């Protein structure tokens, strides 16, 4: 019976460690996708400004409250605008952002194929 209790306690401790490691991974993923408003070109994860540190603490607090990754992104979008996200969703303000690479690829392909056909 003592061995069973001991195994149960060990399992209980490891499950909390796994949960905490999961939260750390999610926190890192979220902070890598949030743009630091002070440093302009870096993520919150990469920079160590006062703003970035406060965002890291806020993300950890929101995770402990039980919010999902999507809900945390929505919170930051409402508070700071869409610009804070490195990976904004498709909406009327970001059509050009999502469609421009496809357009450039198609135009480049047309130019290459036209030059290839003309040389033959």
Q: What is the CATH number of the domain that holds 83?
A: 1.10.8.640
In this prediction, residue 75 carries a pLDDT of 92
Pull the structure tokens for residue 112.
């290459």
Tens of pLDDT, residue by residue, the chain (120 residues): 667 666 666 665 655 544 454 677 888 888 888 888 787 778 888 888 888 889 899 999 988 888 888 899 899 989 988 888 877 667 777 778 778 889 999 999 888 888 777 665
In this prediction, residue 105 carries a pLDDT of 93
Q: Are residues 61 and 10 in the same domain?
A: yes
In this prediction, residue 30 carries a pLDDT of 87
In this prediction, residue 10 carries a pLDDT of 64
Q: Are residues 66 and 99 in the same domain?
A: no
Distances (CA, A) of 5 to 2, 55, 79, 86: 5, 41, 48, 48
Q: Are residues 104 and 80 in the same domain?
A: no
- Residue 104's domain spans which residues? 89-120
Q: Is the dihedral of CA 67, 69, 72, 78 positive or negative?
A: negative
Residue 43: partners with Cβ closer than 8 Å, 6 or more residues away: 31, 32, 33, 34, 35, 36, 86
Domain count across the chain: 2
């Amino acid at each position: 019976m003592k061995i069973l209790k001991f195994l149960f306690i060990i399992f209980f401790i490891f499950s909390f460690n796994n949960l905490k490691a999961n939260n750390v991974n999610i926190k890192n993923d979220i902070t890598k996708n949030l743009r630091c408003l002070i440093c302009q070109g870096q993520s919150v994860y990469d920079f160590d400004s006062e703003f970035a540190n406060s965002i890291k603490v806020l993300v950890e607090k929101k995770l402990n409250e039980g919010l999902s990754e999507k809900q945390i992104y929505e919170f930051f979008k409402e508070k700071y605008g869409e610009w804070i996200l490195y990976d904004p969703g498709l909406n009327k303000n970001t059509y050009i952002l999502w469609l421009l690479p496809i357009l450039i690829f198609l135009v480049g392909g047309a130019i290459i194929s036209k030059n290839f056909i003309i040389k033959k």
